[in-house]
Amino acid sequence: MHEELNYFTRNEVWTLEAKPKGARVIGTKWVFRNKQDDEGNIDYSQVEGIDFGETFAPVARLEAIRFLLAYATHHDMKLFEMDVKSAFLNGYINELVYVEQQPGFEDPNNPNHVYKLSKALYGLKQAPRAWYERLRDFLIQKGFKIGQVDTTLFTKKMDDDLFVCQVYVDDIIFGSTNEEYCKKFGKMMAKEFEMSMIGELTFFLGFQIKQLKEGTFIYQEKYTRDLLKRFKMDDCKPIDTPMSTNTKLDIDESGIKVDQTLYRSMIGSLLYLCASRPDIMFSVCLCARFLADPRQSHLSAVKRILRYLKHTPSIGLWYPKSANFELLGYSNSDFAGCRVERKSTSGGCYLLGRSLVSWSSKKQNCVSLSTAEAEYIAAGQTLLDYGVELSRVPLLCDNESAVKLTNNPVQHSRTKHIDIHHHFIRDHVAKGDIQLRNVGTKEQLADIFTKPLDESTFHRLRSELNVLDVRTIM
């Protein structure tokens, strides 16, 4: 506690003043939390418009983290991470904010004085935004460029080498094609901010990351085992697939109602696990459609997913080192697969070389490729920040009619039911940004995101997406 308060003083976070008449003062309290590593070892009373204004702070999307890992693997870059000590105490605030003296550490000579804040404090709603702006301005001042799409990505070209820096609140991932620049960056940051950790990237946002000579492996084994234990499924009977091909979920109004809080908690936990487990994406998203009124049939489907996780706790994404770094995607749709509304389920996945960086499984109002196209435009702009320029990006689809439709400039009577904004992919095909090609159904990797599959097909597609067991890599 003394160490923390000494940092407040060194960083000029606040000044002790007599309480102004009529001033609103925010209370303070001590909060203690143990930070854990990947092994599990120990490592709001404000009023909007008065005490804070803008609170939003950009954070990196998980897709952006996977982009960086894929890029680093391809360019043989070792990634490092740093944790800024008391990061929020570095951000300047614009509002006039007073807080009470901290319990147990009141000034004996001025017990009724209050602290006027110059910088953000933990618990202030504007603290994340203030910290991001301070860090952004510092990096730009040092010659970094901010990402066009991802504003948490900062890059800097030095001769023929590239330095990349990805920010997630107070966690920073960085790397360079010249490791000497990593050392210089660490020293520069340590000089400006107090650092509590600088080391090789091994654990980030619940991801366990192994940077190996042959590639990089991303998985969530600890999270998976904790999830199974939390929902009392750690002793369940394992199973080979997350969903049976015979599963036909619907509203099931006559079914037995189940605990809605438990069901939602299970789905929320599984959705986060999807960040490194594309093999459960379709099953989890299908079960998530029944959050409003879950029944026993829906809970049984969720428990089957957990039984599959019991069988495969150490599966994750393998990013092998490869000469190929081309962007490639697959788009697929299961026509009228939803039993409730008879809507289609669209799925897509996007690879950089052999590294799966993004995927989706969504119920659509109509069969549409616009979602996949939008992902490609965003991916292309992100790659430009890394200095990678794309020409014609292949988008593979097993629907020959959809491919022909994008090449047909005439909107005849049989396509009038498709809304005009779903045709803008055709414009990019015409411009040469996208090359829509037909692919055989057996080679359609996006199938795993649109429907339940038999065991053989499921395992084959999972393997082709490089979703592997960490034990096969180590």
pLDDT in tens, 132-169: 888 999 999 999 999 887 889 999 998 889 999 999 88
User: Is residue 210 included in any domain, yes or no?
Assistant: no
Lowest-pLDDT choice from 36-45, 55-64, 92-101, 233-242 = 36-45
pLDDT of residue 367: 41
Instruction: Tell me the per-residue pLDDT of 32-88, one tens digit each, with 9 for 90 and over.
Output: 765 555 555 544 444 444 444 444 556 778 888 999 999 999 999 999 999 887 777
C-alpha angle 265-277-352 in degrees, rounded to nearest 5: 140
pLDDT at 411: 46
Q: 344 and 250: one domain?
A: no
pLDDT at position 419 is 45
Residue 208: pLDDT over 90: yes
Q: Give the helix/strand (H/E) hosting 117.
A: strand 114-117
Higher-confidence residue of 111 and 371: namely 111
- Looking at the fold, whether 13 and 160 belong to one and the same domain comes out as yes
Percentage of residues in the chain having pLDDT higher than 90: 43
Specify the pLDDT at position 295.
Answer: 96
| C-alpha span between 207 and 166 (Å, rounded) | 15
pLDDT, mean of residues 280-290 = 95
The answer to whether 137 touches 63, Cβ cutoff 8 Å, is: no
Query: Where do the DSSP E strands lie in 343-392?
Result: 344-352, 355-364
- Is residue 462 assigned to a domain? yes
Classify residue 24: in a domain, yes or no.
Answer: yes
Highest mean pLDDT among 12-16, 325-329, 352-356, 415-419: 352-356
Longest dimension (CA), the chain: 85
Q: Domain end: 275, 290, 311, which one? A: 311
Count: domains in the chain: 3
Predicted TM-score (pTM) of this structure: 0.78
DSSP 8-class letter at 242:
S
Q: Within this chain, do residues 226 and 183 fall inside the same structural domain, yes or no?
A: no
- At 405 the pLDDT is 44
Same domain, 299 and 351: no
- What is the average pLDDT across 267-288? 96
Residues of the chain with pLDDT > 70: what percent?
Answer: 78
- Shared domain for 173 and 260, answered yes or no, is no
pLDDT tens per residue, range 391-435:
666 777 765 544 444 455 444 434 443 443 444 455 655 666 666
Statement to judge: residues 256 and 383 lie in one domain: no
Domain boundary, last residue among 311, 346, 371: 311
Whether residue 260 lies inside any domain: the answer is yes
Residues 121 and 232 in one domain: no
Number of other residues whose CB lies within 10 A of the CB of residue 466 = 19
Q: Is the pLDDT of residue 254 over 90?
A: yes
Whether 265 and 356 map to the same domain: the answer is no
Whether 214 is covered by a domain: the verdict is no
Q: Are residues 416 and 270 in the same domain?
A: no
Question: Side chain identity at 265, as an amino acid letter?
Answer: S
With a cut of 60, say whether residue 313 has pLDDT above it.
Answer: yes
Q: What is the mean pLDDT of residues 334-362?
A: 76
pLDDT at 462 over 60: yes
| Domain membership of residue 448 as a residue range | 323-473
Q: What is the pLDDT of residue 46?
A: 43
Lowest mean pLDDT among 16-20, 264-268, 452-456: 16-20
Among 288, 311, 334, give the residue marking a domain's end.
Answer: 311
Residue 318 lies in a domain: no
228 pLDDT tier (thresholds 50, 70, 90): very high
**Residue 297 and residue 337 share a domain:** no
**Rounded to 5°, angle at Cα 218 from 273 and 287:** 20
Report pLDDT for 387: 74
Same domain for 190 and 305, yes or no, is no
Q: Is the pLDDT of residue 131 over 70?
A: yes
Whether 37 is in a domain gets the answer: yes
Question: Do residues 64 and 171 share a domain?
Answer: yes
Q: How confident is the model at residue 379 (pLDDT cuts 50, 70, 90)?
A: low
Contact 217, 316 (CB under 8 A): yes
The CATH number for 408's domain is 3.30.420
| Higher local confidence (pLDDT), 124 or 472 | 472
